[in-house]
Structure 1
Amino acid sequence: MNTFIVAPSLQHTHTVIFLHGRDSHAKEFAEEFFESQASDDRFFQNIFPTFKWVFPSARPLMSAVFGTEMSQWFDMSSVEIPEERKELQLEGLKENVAVIKDIILFEASQFPTFSPNCIILGGISQGCATAILALLSSQIRICGFMGLSSWLPFSSEVEQLAGGAKQHSFSITDIESLYHLGHTSSSEAKTEIEKVKSTLHTPVFLSHCHYDEVVPITDGKKLCQSLKKIGMNVTWKEYGDGGHWINEPQGVDDMVEFMQNIIL
């Protein structure tokens, strides 16, 4: 997978892995992302000079709807209604969830000691949808997760697993099996429950703009509710304007505050 990497300007302390949306590319997205300004007129790179930024790029996949290849993490029939034709989503999800998990592990290994607690994962739109599944099936806790203008693929299945599980003691393997993203025997799954709990302790930041012309804010709210149901600590922010992007400057300020809090 091609990646666009921006090195830290000071001694490296954390790595952010951030996935672009559908019909975009890593470098294009990164350039726009780094133009977003906080209320003090600073940019992400200025605020976090010790961060390495890794932007993976989705490879072209055939679109069943448009009949041509396009840059996307997985195919789907409708961004507005992500529950439609789930069978289209499985192949791309299986491939790219595995790839993103490998990137997480690789980047965590680039520190003097293996340090997933120094990794922040995130994405926008379909990139976030892919990244959250990578986190849920990783069985490790990372520093934090940030999702913008997105949804949770197969959310009804996740809610089914979460229903009544007030102690959130089910295995992430259960979610994996629903997505057909992997297989672990029931005996192996029982021995991994502590890893599962650790993953669910990863702090999450989600934001969405009311007038998002691509992904309805109701999908973002459902993502938030689903993650809370499986026991995750979610910070939710919504904004009046900003479209299918980061609200400026308040949305940038909120992302900065979240990252500053989790790296303490």
Structure 2
Amino acid sequence: MHFPEPHIQHPKGEHTQTAVFLHGRGSDGAEFAEDLFSSVNSQGQTLPESLPNMRWVFPNSGSRWHARFEEEIPAWFDAYSLDRIEERQESQVEGLQESVFYILNLLSQEIQQLGGKSHHLYLGGISQGMAIALWSLICGPVKLQSPLGGVLGFCGWLPFAGQVEDLLKGYDDTLSGAEASNKQRQTSKLLLGVIAESNTPKLSDNADISVLSTPVFLSHGTDDNLVSVELGRQATQVLQSLGVSVERSEFTGAEADGHWIKEPEGFDQITWFLQNQIEKNL
């Protein structure tokens, strides 16, 4: 799969942090950036104005064949049905494999540009972009050996969440220490196994899984007509069962039939989350 070069918006000030944000199905990096940056928070500021030292990277998925629409569309993977997300789930595997490892490699490159400061790097996505962001976090231990500054997701879901829930039924939610780490490691192995090919990196039993301590912020419209809020709630529950720190927000009345970020409240939350994590990681 060929991934076109990302769309990049450079910081207004000194570059000290980077955000990698992933578009949804049918969009691309430049369009997502334009839509995201045309909205303001309650102070009347856009995200680049609120975060002048942030470099914004918007990767492009490229186009892939959609089995239901029978045409090529911009997408990170082929989700046959958003109403019944597990229908023809096997069709998602190839795109997940290609896109997750592309994003993990991109994150590694961005961390190098930040002088190895992974906690100055933020990953986010909307809809399918959120799905890839969450998979990249859980599969992250094969490429990333330290936490990111944060992960943000909007109006999305976690592919193969049902399989993860089945795995987690065998673990006590109150586990701590080595037992909790083993639960996280086995979940990472499960998702890596779904997209495994001969060249897929393996996760050892003593692999560093500290990336899973990355804080997460998720938001979703309860009136989202494209991706059900229940799928977003399921993603939150899975992450929390893994011991991931998740803040969650729900809202109504956003544009695009609820499948977008509520303005200005949602942009207040994004600004607050990023500024708060930046301050913690100075």
Question: Residue in 1 aligned with 2:193?
Answer: 177
Provide the rounded CA distance (Å) in 2 between the counterparts of 1:231 and 1:179: 23
The secondary structure found in structure 2 opposite 1:109 is helix
Question: Residue in 2 aligned with 1:124?
Answer: 126
Residue by residue, what CA displacement relative to the aligned partner does 1:110-164 show, whole Å, maximum 9, x if unpaired? 02x2121111001000011011111111113111000000000000111122222
Provide the rounded CA distance (Å) in 1 between the counterparts of 2:84 and 2:216: 23
Question: Residue in 2 aligned with 1:81?
Answer: 84
| Aligned-pair CA distance for 1:66 | 0.8
Give the AA of the match of 2:116: F
Counterpart check, 1:214 vs 2:229: no
| Aligned-pair CA distance for 1:183 | 4.9
Give the AA of the match of 1:204: V
Provide the rounded CA distance (Å) in 1 between the counterparts of 2:194 and 2:106: 23
Question: Residue in 2 aligned with 1:199?
Answer: 211
Find 2:156's aligned residue among 150, 157, 161. 150
Provide the rounded CA distance (Å) in 2 between the counterparts of 1:206 and 1:35: 21
Counterpart check, 1:259 vs 2:271: no
Residue by residue, what CA displacement relative to the aligned partner does 1:32-70 show, whole Å, maximum 9, x if unpaired? 100111011111010000000000011110110011100
Residue by residue, what CA displacement relative to the aligned partner does 1:90-124 show, whole Å, maximum 9, x if unpaired? 0001001000001100001002x212111100100
RMSD: 1.3
| Aligned-pair CA distance for 1:208 | 0.4
The answer on whether the counterparts of 1:157 and 1:178 sit within 8 Å (CA) in structure 2 is no
Question: Residue in 2 aligned with 1:115?
Answer: 117
The answer on whether the counterparts of 2:124 and 2:153 sit within 8 Å (CA) in structure 1 is yes
| Aligned-pair CA distance for 1:174 | 3.3
The answer on whether the counterparts of 1:209 and 1:217 sit within 8 Å (CA) in structure 2 is yes
| Aligned-pair CA distance for 1:81 | 2.2
Find 1:160's aligned residue among 166, 169, 177. 166
Moved over 6 A (4+): none
Unaligned runs of 5+ in 1: none
| Aligned-pair CA distance for 1:175 | 2.9
TM-score (norm 2): 0.88
Matches within 5 A, 1:60-99: 60-99=63-102
The secondary structure found in structure 1 opposite 2:64 is strand
The secondary structure found in structure 2 opposite 1:177 is helix
Provide the rounded CA distance (Å) in 1 between the counterparts of 2:239 and 2:195: 16
Provide the aligned length of Structure 1 versus Structure 2.
257
Give the AA of the match of 1:260: Q
| Aligned-pair CA distance for 1:232 | 0.4
The answer on whether the counterparts of 1:177 and 1:183 sit within 8 Å (CA) in structure 2 is no
| Aligned-pair CA distance for 1:180 | 2.9
The secondary structure found in structure 1 opposite 2:116 is coil
Provide the rounded CA distance (Å) in 1 between the counterparts of 2:213 and 2:266: 23
| Aligned-pair CA distance for 1:165 | 4.3
Question: Residue in 2 aligned with 1:190?
Answer: 205
TM-score (norm 1): 0.94
Find 2:140's aligned residue among 135, 138, 141. 138
| Aligned-pair CA distance for 1:80 | 2.4
The secondary structure found in structure 2 opposite 1:180 is coil
Give the AA of the match of 1:13: T
Provide the rounded CA distance (Å) in 1 between the counterparts of 2:48 and 2:83: 32
Give the AA of the match of 2:138: L
Give the AA of the match of 2:193: S
Determine what percentage of the aligned residue pairs are the same residue: 35
Provide the rounded CA distance (Å) in 2 between the counterparts of 1:210 and 1:138: 29
